[in-house]
Amino acid sequence: MFRIVSGRWKAKRIAAPKFFEVRPTTDFAKEALFSILNNRYELDSVAVLDLFAGIGSISLEFASRGNEDVTAVEINPKHTAFIDEIAAKLDMRLQINVVRADVYDWLKKNKGRKQYEIVFADPPFSETDEKKYEELIAMVLDNNYLQDDGLFVLEHQSRLKFEHPNLSETRKYGNLSFSFFVKNTEENSEIENCDSERF
């Protein structure tokens, strides 16, 4: 179960079927995250990409706050059907574009098509090792998915520490953390290229 924190459907509780193996972002962490994002953006007017969308906790939160441009990418067909079902019940179907796809394949196929102010990713902790996180970071940043003022927000276990020229900060909330990455610049790209040449 998760709760929509704010907006039109504030305090709305959404329960997924018990057999779903999901780990929605905790209400406490989600509230803190959206406070950070709300201080930086007008959340009703940004383009949002929600990767590993799960059962839609983040996508539905954006839609509740008036956002009309959310793309939710999730591979599990039961989860995508659930997001569609809840979006329809809450009159959000036109706000959320639910895509059933493997995130890594989708990022490869759609590079250069659209940029977003906010890209959020919450890969499954149990299936994502450090190399997969690094691959994901590279695919988002190196393929121009972020607008100039965009942020890539990566949710991960707090024990993981990332070193990357685009990492602006990490916020810890118990066992999970959000790491915030900014758009590639020429300087960042040069640093990354130099690091790659050492190996």
pLDDT value of residue 191? 43
Q: Is the CB of residue 101 less than 8 Å from the CB of residue 73?
A: yes
Residue 186 included in any domain: yes
What's 19's DSSP letter?
T
Widest Cα–Cα separation across the chain: 53
Task: Return the SS3 of 56.
Answer: coil
pLDDT value of residue 188? 54
d(CA 79, CA 55): 5
- Six token digits for residue 194: 């130099």
Residue 24 included in any domain: no
What's 61's DSSP letter?
H
Residue 99 included in any domain: yes
Q: ∠ CA 178-180-185 to the nearest 5 degrees?
A: 165
Would you give per-residue pLDDT tens digits along the chain (199 residues)?
Answer: 899 999 999 999 998 887 787 777 888 999 999 999 999 999 999 999 999 999 999 999 999 999 999 999 999 999 999 999 999 999 999 999 999 999 999 999 999 899 999 999 999 987 888 899 999 999 999 999 999 999 999 999 999 999 999 999 999 999 999 999 999 876 455 444 444 343 2
pLDDT value of residue 193? 47
**Which of 73, 62, 57, 68 is closest to 95 using CA atoms?**
68
Residue 17 included in any domain: no
Residue 9 included in any domain: no
pLDDT value of residue 24? 79
pLDDT value of residue 196? 39
Overall number of domains in the chain? 1
Residue 78 included in any domain: yes
Residue 157 included in any domain: yes
Residue 16 included in any domain: no
Task: Return the SS3 of 154.
Answer: strand
Spell out the residues 6+ positions from residue 138 whose beta carbon is closer than 8 angstroms to its own.
none
- Strands 176-182 and 48-51 turn out to be unpaired
Q: Output the domain CATH number for residue 71.
A: 3.40.50.150
Expressed as residue numbers, the domain containing 124 is 44-197
